Structure 1
Amino acid sequence: MGLLVNGQWQDRWYDTDENGGRFVRQESQFRNWVTVDGSVGPSGEGGFAAEPDRYHLYVSLACPWAHRTLIFRSIKRLQGVIGVTVVDPLMLENGWELGDAEHGPVSGIRYLYELYLTVADNMSGRVTVPVLWDKQRKTIVNNESAEIIRMLNRAFNHLTAVQTDYYPVALQGEIDRLNERIYQTVNNGVYRAGFATTQQAYEEAFDALFDTLDWLENRLDRQRFLAGSQLTEADWRLFTTLIRFDAVYHGHFKVNRKRIEDYPNLSNYLRDLFQQPGVAETVNFSHIKTHYYGSHKTINPTGIIPKGPELDFLRPHDRNRFS
């Protein structure tokens, strides 16, 4: 694990000293948008029109942020429109490695940070997945998963038969409110607990996480999905954390008050999402467990990967009671 400093790779863990032992996530640096006609999106510059076989995703099957983009690529049936390269599960002294993976449109690179340097040779910052790459302009369009999934949701509709909108206008305010709380306390909350280096920072994150999980459990007692009867972006953003929780976060990140399996509504809801068409194929527990237990040497110095737990997401769920 490391980062780029003025174009030079450095193997360096997160520095929490300036924040009282609290993990603070760095904001993504590439924020252009693919739009239908290439016009400027909410940030960045224009010139990125939604065209077939122009864009390519670099992802990790272990990473919950990258997992979001794989789900949207699948449920919007964009596999024939946008290519994908999967990095190795381990992230060690050289960061994400391409290894034996199909390297995609950029040849001659072994590490993901080298892809970043082809765009910004003096870059400073973390090298993260997902990366949305433009093969035509040979540049990174965006590396913020929350924005990439919104591009996949709408910009490519003229290239797919799936017109389902996971960010409908009528629900945008509610989706945004859900996303804000869930991101702070759940999606990033598990990392804030797991990467904390003081007891106080850990307990703050732990308490906020389970306060929100309790709130979600109660919410899902009244409705099938987070925003009501319609499956939305908010559900998929939560899903990629929940699917990793019992296998990794519960033990590895010490968020062990409860498992998701111990929440009746959340566990049934999780199985409901897992069983949606095209989703199960995006989940790879071998990569997930290998990455977390093998990459985080400050947390698990032995690198031993646990064999359990046994998880069955194909069991029947009860969420159809809201139909």
Structure 2
Amino acid sequence: MSATGTAQAPDVQLLEPRDVPLGGQRAMTVRRTLPARQRSFVGAWCFADHYGPDDVAETGGMDVAPHPHTGLATVSWLFEGEIEHRDSAGVVACVRPGEMNLMTAGAGICHSEVSTAETTALHGVQLWVVLPEHAADAPRDFQHHRPSPTHPAGPEGGVELRVMVGELAGQSSPVTFPTPLLGAEVRLAPGTTWRAPVDPAYEHGVLLDVGSVTVEGVDVGRGALAVLDTGRDALTLVAGEGGARLMLLGGEPFTEEIVLWWNFVGRSHDEVVAFREAWQAEGDRFGAVEGYVGGEDTPQRIPAPELPGVRLKARGRLGRGF
């Protein structure tokens, strides 16, 4: 592994996770792989946090007050626990294991995330997807999908698949997005080898949740993201003795440059500055979350941090230095 947290094999770029405290009174430390110094996107996936399992009795669970987004969609996927989602589009929904919530920010949205009283452990991934420039100002939107598990290698083949967006091994999702995407949970029984049929026009990422797995012969550690470029019609996944659970992400290469700062995606420094000013002014751009009840140490909305003292730089598909 290099000093930047990125290891390189001949055909696989391995992004090692880095611990990131989310901040706040009841926020967690997550393991983040995207964005990385050498890689900004896998398809249009631009952000990947892996967390848990966290013992709620020790950590207090999740209580993230209303905060804004622009120019992206958030994807929530849980392995354990339950989170209540509220947003300024008026949506109140629960995130549960095996169910995908996709929230499109477009020109501006705000939302809160709070673990439910019944939750004893939290474990999942939080992902962001960049909206292409032509859809960056799209209306606020929310999609929910509970994919049925399928067994593409047969009932005894050792592969269980849930496709949350896109298509894989004959299973497709009704969730729509402006650019071609793939997102799926894959469970492999101990010792299973699976040649996952994939679109050669896509680049792909494999994020290991639990267990052990090799991707095209490369060992992937827990929370790490193995990235493969276009030109493959299959990915060889081999589970270790304990099996594996992983997220398979993909999409056509995203060729636009973006400015990603805090919770905002824009196309220029000045645009992001305007987003921050609009949030701080509590105007109409982001709306308001109704019904959020925080704790005595939790703000009713999260203020934006101060901007750095230099102009924000755009990043492309292969990243830039932090």
When normalised by structure 2's length, the TM-score is 0.24
**Which structure is higher in strand share?**
2
**Which structure is higher in helix share?**
1
When normalised by structure 1's length, the TM-score is 0.24
